[in-house]
């Protein structure tokens, strides 16, 4: 198979890490893989306008949603603090709905699930989003079965990922699905991240959910757990 066209959709006040985790993971796969297995990554937005992220940094897009046509391999909608405005933007939602019909896979990261839900793409499906916004998503889109726990969920050809850095877990899952586990492991090693967290792992890990230990000695023991576990 030739290049796979992977389109990441951003909007005003998108989350920089949602976009960066996906694009960096795919770029690393290109560097470590072979040319015939490459990804072609495009960042798109309404009107092809630059994306001013929630961090204040600006990303230049390569494609306008209006001019983008399929077939696409994967359509990935980012999240960010601007997700409510994005989900209320009929033009953006309409183009996401149109492009989803021309894509092999459709995905969202973090609060980007609201855009997929607004497009009707999550109706009757189980989906996840950032844990902090899960209740809001469920209340606004009652046809969606929102699960606030998993890192990511696959329902047919539709994938939803949880908060922010779960974008990297989703990207590693795509790489493994497309090219096998060895390339996914190589990418994870080069990015110095988990080899791959399973999609059903809880967003709130043991470390993040528990209070920080008061004792320096206890903190040292907790920090050392897993240091000797082989890859």
Give the span between the Cα atoms of 32 and 24, in whole angstroms.
12
Give the span between the Cα atoms of 219 and 222, in whole angstroms.
5
Query: In sequence order, what are the beta bridge partners of 108?
Result: 77, 160
Non-local (6+) Cβ contacts of 89 within 8 A are 11, 46
Give the span between the Cα atoms of 57 and 161, in whole angstroms.
23
Catalytic residue numbers, as ranges:
110
Task: Read off the DSSP letter of residue 131.
Answer: G
Q: What is the dihedral of CA 168, 45, 155, 146, to 10 degrees?
A: 90
Kind plus residue range of the DSSP H or E element containing 72: strand 72-77
């Amino acid at each position: 198979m030739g290049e796979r066209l992977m389109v990441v959709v951003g909007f005003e006040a998108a989350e920089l890490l949602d976009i960066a985790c996906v694009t960096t993971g795919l770029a690393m796969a290109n560097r470590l893989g072979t040319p015939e297995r490459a990804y072609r990554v495009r960042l798109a937005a309404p009107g092809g306008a630059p994306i001013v992220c929630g961090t204040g940094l600006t990303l230049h897009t390569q494609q306008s949603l209006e001019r983008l046509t399929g077939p696409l391999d994967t359509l990935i909608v980012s999240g960010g603090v601007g997700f409510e405005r994005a989900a209320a933007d009929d033009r953006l939602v309409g183009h996401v709905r149109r492009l989803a019909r021309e894509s092999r896979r459709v995905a969202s990261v973090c609060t980007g699930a609201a855009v997929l839900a607004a497009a009707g793409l999550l109706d009757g499906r189980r989906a996840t989003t950032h844990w902090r916004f899960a209740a809001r998503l469920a209340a606004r889109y009652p046809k969606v079965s929102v699960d606030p726990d998993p890192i990511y969920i696959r329902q047919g050809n539709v994938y939803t990922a949880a908060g922010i850095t779960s974008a990297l877990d989703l990207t590693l899952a795509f790489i493994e699905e497309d090219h096998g586990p060895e390339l996914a492991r190589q990418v994870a090693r080069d990015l110095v991240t988990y080899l791959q967290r399973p999609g059903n792992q809880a967003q709130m890990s043991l470390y993040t959910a528990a209070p920080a230990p008061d004792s320096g000695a206890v903190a040292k023991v907790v920090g050392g757990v897993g240091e000797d576990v082989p890859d």
